[in-house]
Amino acid sequence: MVERGKSPDLKRRVDGEVLVERTLIEFDAGQPAAAQATLAQRRQSVHRREALYWLGRAQEASDASQGRAMVAEARPRLARSPVASHRRLAAADR
């Protein structure tokens, strides 16, 4: 059993989920600039790639021209990510 607060993998996973959710909530609230700013603040996060991907998908769905470019930018980074779920996402999105 892992002691509470002692698992760096769990912390990274939760931080990644928070980043993705915050970015999408900001976009859904009609604040795409805030969503972009959230991503810019987390340049070093491995989960930034996933957030960029999902924000791009959300923008594609709303006909924002940037969406397709964001997904295209995120896809190769996800494919090289050390996170297995990122690699699966990149592979499934072909």
Number of structural domains the chain divides into = 1
Instruction: Give the model's pLDDT for residue 94.
Output: 62
Q: Which two tokens stand for residue 23?
A: 């970015």
Q: Looking at the domain assignment, is residue 3 inside a domain?
A: no
What values do phi and psi take at 81, rounded to 5?
A: -65, 150
69 lies in some domain: yes
State the alpha helices, DSSP H only, in 1-94.
8-28, 32-41, 48-61, 66-79, 84-92
Angle at 32 between CA 42 and CA 25, to 5 degrees: 75
Range of the domain at 37: 15-92
In a domain, 9, yes or no: no
**pLDDT for 1-33, tens place per residue?**
445 556 777 777 788 888 999 999 999 999 989
Q: Is residue 5 part of a domain?
A: no
> Which comes out higher in pLDDT, residue 61 or 7?
61
What's CA 87's distance to the chain center, in Å? 13
Q: For residue range 74-94, what is the model confidence (pLDDT) as tens digits?
A: 899 899 998 888 999 899 866
Whether residue 4 is contained in a domain is answered as no
Q: What is the pTM of this model?
A: 0.74
